[in-house]
Structures are given as C-alpha cells and as structure tokens.
Structure 1
C-alpha cells in the first residue's frame, strides 16, 4: 500500500488522530500505573486478531471478538472500579488547572521573548544547585531520623494538585532546612504525626492528614504513616517518603506503589523525581513531549494510525483498475487457440480501501468457454461479469474491452 493516504488527511482527520492518540496514551499510562500491563497486553493481542479478522472477512471470528470486547469492558469496569473512580475524579481538576494556567503561560511566553538566547534563570526555573541542595537536606534528614527511629512523613508534590486531598494542616511557608524538618517531626511537637509538604525549596504546610490506602495487600503490617503515603500516591503523582519509628527504615510511595529504600536508593530516587518534575527551559519547550513515556506515546500513535487506516481510511470508497492477461489456458474449447487479440483486459473494481489492502491480481481470474458448435476461424467472444471470478467484497464496474477476437483451429488442422 502506498502512502497516498497522507494526501487524504485533512485538518479534521489530523485532530482526530491527535485526540485519539492522547486518549490511548492516557489509557496506556493508566494501565502502567495500575500495574495491569499484562491485561493490556492481552487486549492488544486480541485487538490485533480482531483487526486481521476484519481484513480477511472472518465473519464468525469478528462476531465472537466483538462480543468478547464487550465482556472485557464490563470486567475492567468491575475490577478497576476504584482506580477508574480516582481517574475520572482527577479529570475535572486537571482541566481546571490547565485552563487556569493558560493566562500565566501566555504571559510568561511573551515576557520571555526579549530574553531568548540569554542565560537567565526565570523565577519558575529552579537552578540545579537549589534542587541538589534540597535533595541533600531531605536525604540527610530522613536518614538521621531513621537512625534515631523518629517517625516522619514527607510529601513532595508532582504535577497533580494535592490540596484537595489534604485534611487539616498548618501553613508555614518556611525555607527548607534540616533543623526545621527535625523540629517538626520531634516527638514533643504537636503536629509530628502529620505530613510535611515540601514545595519549591520551602515547607508550605505541616501536620497534614492524608487519605489512607485500602490496599492491604501492599501495606501488609505497615503502619498508618505508610497507609497515608500509599493513599496519596494512588490519587496523585506526588512522592511520599516515610520513616518508620518501629523499624528505623525509609519507604518511598509513588504511583500507587510503596517500597523500602536504602540511603543510596533514596538519593537516586529523589534525583530522578526532581529531574522528571523540573520545568524545561524555554529553549527546549517540546523536549518532554519526546522524552517522557516515549514508548507509550509511540505505541499510542501507532495504534491510532492503524485504527484510522482500517476503520476510517479503509472504509472510504475507492476505484482500482487491474490489467488481466488473457491466456489460452483460460479458454475452454475443443479447438486450439492460436491467437488472441487483445492479449489483456483492463478491469475496474470499486469497494472500500481495506478490501484492496491485501488483494493480489492473481485472485482475479478470467474464464471463457467456447461452444463445440463453433467452427474454425476468427471468433468474437463477449466478456461479461460471469466470466470473471474475484473477491466478494469488491464490485465490478467496467471491463475494457467488452469483447476479444480468438483464432481457432481444430487439432487435425493444427497438425
């Protein structure tokens, strides 16, 4: 198949593909975050089988798989009802955040135009030094608290808004430091049992209560702080760090998962998190589009284009012409065929694009039968649709020419 379909992609088709790619990408990332990749793999395999069944007109297989997809959809809703509730609960907040940020982003863009090409840090762009300092303070403080068996819960927000999930808390807005963190988690402090929120190098709130996770399989015998950390990580993309006063260990919760980490792992985890969440400079505004979750984005685009080719572009009517050679073996006669004029036919068919994707010219066959009563010489034979065999999902439009001339001789005359 040629790339002529690119010429048929208009503005509406372009945005259609982009929208579906974003939607499929969101589903892929959601499956990745819910650790249900194996289910997604099975659905993709069955989807490929379904597409092949549609291409090859396997009616029974197509019907069964359509029913199967309906069952799968219901099963996914039942199995992942809690995750879906959280997902759709975040959509309005995401949309509100997006539209509220548009004026600020436009203002920052136009204000930055005169300074393009200059090495000037914007207020939103944190320097690597300040981020490195924050990582050092957090890691050193948590390691000391674990050694002293002092419980702690630190939340570092990501891109998602977490304020709606916080209960209580005291506003602080103080610059982050090791003494301040240790004093907030001191056992004699009133709010030491709550969570501390760290944002952009400052402690914005402390003594916050977080939603508790109900995933007892992951929590096991872990305590309330761990349940709170896991609970918030299930609802947002925040990084939640916990120090257990009973075990003297550090655990990290993110994207609905929680695991124990050592000192070196903690530093690496924080570095990766800040690298992922730090804003990109104006010189590379589209960098994250191609680097973050690039596998899921490429797969989403591939799936969308495949679906568009099969169900949208593939359903459009098209005309295709084929040149069919006329061979003597295609003519059934007791006479010997010594000559045929013309020696080929041009047949034109109409049908949906997908009907021609795998069509081979060899599937179009010509069959002619000459009555035994015909005498030797040049005979004109009319060609009609009944003389052609072709796939049933295409329609014959024209035959050129409508007749051919055949020179016949008996076997005795030929000898």
Structure 2
C-alpha cells in the first residue's frame, strides 16, 4: 500500500503537463533511434554512450571522485561530439521531420507511396536475373520513404516507363549510363548514370567492386532498396539498411521487392494498433525510459525543493583541562534547498555540524551556531538551522588515576 501511495503521489507531482512533456520527448528520441537503426555502427556508438552514462551514475553513487571528475570532463564536450559523430543521422532525422510535415499538408490521395504492380515486379526480377546470367553489371535503386536527392551525384533525367528493353539498353556495356545507377520511382525510371556515396564498411564488402560499395553506401544513408549485379561473378545482391546479401532466383528477387513495398506502404488492413505497438517495440521502450530519466534529471530534478535533516551536534578540540558534560539539544534540524537531482544521491551523513570550542571556558554557555560550522555537499544552499543556539555544560576534566608499576 505504501508503494502504491508513493506512485500516486509521484503521478500527482508530474501532472498532465509533465506527462505530455515525457510523451513528446519519447517521440523525438524514438525518431532518432529509428534513424540510428539504419546503421549498425551508429547504434553501437549510441549504446557506448549509454554505458558511459551508467558508469557515471554508479561512480557518483559510490563516491568515486576521480572517475566522476574525468567523466564530467567528457560530458562537457558531449554535445559537440554528438553532432560530429551523428551528423549524418541528425541530418536524416531532420529531413524525415520536414518530409513528414510537408506530407501532412498534401491531400490524402497524394500521400501514399507508389507501389509496384505485379507486372513491374516481374520486369525487375526477370531483367536483373537475365543480366546476372549474362554477367552484365547493373545497379538499380528503388526509392523508399526517405529523400535520396542529396546522396545522388550526376546522372540524366529519363522519366521513362519501366520496361525490360529500356533497362537492358541502359545497362548495355556500350551504353553511356552503363557504369552508373538507375533510380526507379513508382513505375518510372527517373534517372540513369547516377553516382552514389561509397560505403567504407570493408567487412561487408569482401572481394566486391564499386557497384556493391555504392549500393551499400546508399543503404546506410536511406531506406532505399538497392539491387546490384556483379559483372565479374554474375551474382545478384540486394542492399538495405546498411546490410547486403545475395539472392539467387527471380522468385526471391520478387519476394524482396514485394516485402520492401509492404514495409514502406503497407496495405490498410495491416495498419492496426497491434502493428503499431509491436513494430520497433524495443526502441519504443528505450525511448520512453530515456525520456523519463531525462525528465527526472533535467525537468523534475531541476525543480528547487527544501529538505530538512536531523544533524548531531559535534564539537572540536577544547582546552586540555575541560570537557563537555552535556549538549542541549544534542541534534538540530538543518534545512537545505537545491534542485531535486542534488538530493538524489544525497545521504544525511554528508551533513556535518562541528562547534569550535578551542577558547571555551568552564560553566554553562549558549553557543550560537554559525553557518560556517556546517559542511554539506555542493550544489545546495543553507536555509535554516533550528534551534540556532545550543546549551553546553563545560566542566573540569577528571584526571585519570595514575597507574604505578
């Protein structure tokens, strides 16, 4: 019951605005994590940052001063490092936000992504399989939801209807556009002879050529589907989400194409609440957890609060002939103020109260407690000491009996 009351009290403190704030930040973090999911390298870097953050919190809890100091220096340059490390992913994220905003302004009938008819899927699968059998190099890019214009270099506008003769004529070894990529949008060939950014992930490109590096490079930067034919080995490969694999039959190529369009433009009957909850559920849970942590640390944790602690009264050295017989009261109430997060790892034992009695004299005395007699962690401010005076009985020290051998 006590735990339930604490949760109800916490929800009351959060309020509607706090819940809305958490949900909004969750949405932004999820969009960023979805962007990071495109490349394994970025995901590993982000995981490493989370591990460093967890180490920092543990170090603060265990009072590891050197480790905390070093990590605080790391976090001082964290934002700059974040922009440098994730510059491509941040650009992708803001690009997706802009595309989403512009799409919301379009009429409903214009919002759906173009889908292949079965005829176009068969054309691509059959044509690319024929090119692979004849060992004619080819690279076909099929647009997804992301804008890929900034990744494309050069090329010629075509805007021609997708067909087997047109594709084979483009990739003919004597054709001008043979060495570049063909960009397909809907049932049209948009451009030919396009150059794509090359991947530097050599582990996934053992013995592969420039076409494979270009296909993998674009797949690392967008959600486009890239199909590449090797003229040396006569193999057909597909690249998506920073990964590349071989496919062996036209039926397998058709299956890849149909799955691709089911993903970027799913049929309406599949758009259910269950699909919404299950898809990327790990990223959603991580986003919500991080949003709550950030709200506690930066929002809820930044609120200024007062906390009162019961602190024992201690005293420093006295003249050698005197001793303290009584302190009244033996404890005082100390009120400190500061952000909530400053109290998160706070222990009452961190507050020390010590009176300086080096010039004390025998008798009953009322000592005023100065603010300087208190020591407490940084980031906090002293608000009150109650009572401000304590009574001390100082007597002569009883000499210890001498011991004789």
* Aligned match for 2:103, one of 90, 101, 105: 101
1:373 match: 362
1:159 aligns with 2:145: yes
Q: Does 1:41 align with 2:73?
A: no
Structure 2 unmatched runs, 5+: 1-5, 399-405
| Pairing 1:236-247 to 2, within 5 Å after superposition | 236-247=222-233
In the alignment, structure 1 segments of 5+ residues that lack a partner are: 109-121, 175-179
Assess, with a 3 A threshold, how the Cα gap between structure 1 residues 368 and 234 changes in structure 2: closer, same or farther.
Answer: closer
Instruction: Supply the distance in 2 between the matched residues of 1:309 and 1:13 (Cα, whole angstroms).
Output: 12
Alignment partner of 1:181 is 2:164: yes
Task: Determine helix, strand or coil for the equivalent of 1:320.
Answer: strand
Matched, 1:208 2:192: yes
Structure 1 residues 227 and 390: alpha-carbon distance in aligned structure 2, compared to 1, 3 A threshold: closer
Q: Which residue of 2 aligns with 1:112?
A: none
Q: Distance in 2 between matches of 1:360 and 1:123?
A: 57
Asked if 1:29 corresponds to 2:35, the answer is yes
Residue in 2 that maps onto 1:391: 377
Q: 1:172 aligns with which of 160, 166, 174?
A: 160
Q: Is the 8 A contact 2:29 2:291 kept in 1?
A: no
Q: CA 1:29/1:54 → structure 2, altered by over 3 Å: closer, same or farther?
A: farther
Q: The residue matched to 2:377 in structure 1 has which SS?
A: coil
1:107-118 equivalence runs, <5 A? 107=108
Q: CA deviation at 1:237?
A: 1.7
Q: 1:260 to 1:168 in 2, by over 3 A?
A: same
Distance 1:211 1:26 in 2: 27
Q: Offset at 1:52?
A: 5.7
8 Å Cα contact 2:313-2:355 kept in structure 1: no
Work out whether residues 145 and 264 of structure 2, in 8 Å CA contact, stay in contact via their aligned partners in 1: yes
Q: Which residue of 1 aligns with 2:73?
A: 66
Matches within 5 A, 1:190-209: 193=178, 195=181, 197-199=183-185, 203-205=187-189, 208-209=192-193
Distance 2:288 2:193 in 1: 40
Quote the residue 1:258 is aligned against.
244
Deviates more, 1:314-323 or 1:190-199: 190-199
1:104 match: secondary structure: coil
How many angstroms does 1:382 deviate by? 6.3
Q: 1:250, CA displacement in angstroms? A: 0.9
The one-character-per-residue Cα deviations of 1:280-307 (angstroms, maximum 9, x if unpaired) are 6399577776444443444344334434
* Contact kept in structure 2, 1:25 and 1:297, CA below 8 Å: no
Q: CA deviation at 1:159?
A: 0.5
After superposition, where does 1:274-293 map in structure 2 within 5 Å?
Answer: 274-279=261-266, 281=268, 284=271, 290-293=277-280
The CA deviation at 1:357 is 0.9
Task: With the length of structure 1 as denominator, give the TM-score of the two structures.
Answer: 0.65
Question: Normalising by structure 2, what TM-score?
Answer: 0.66
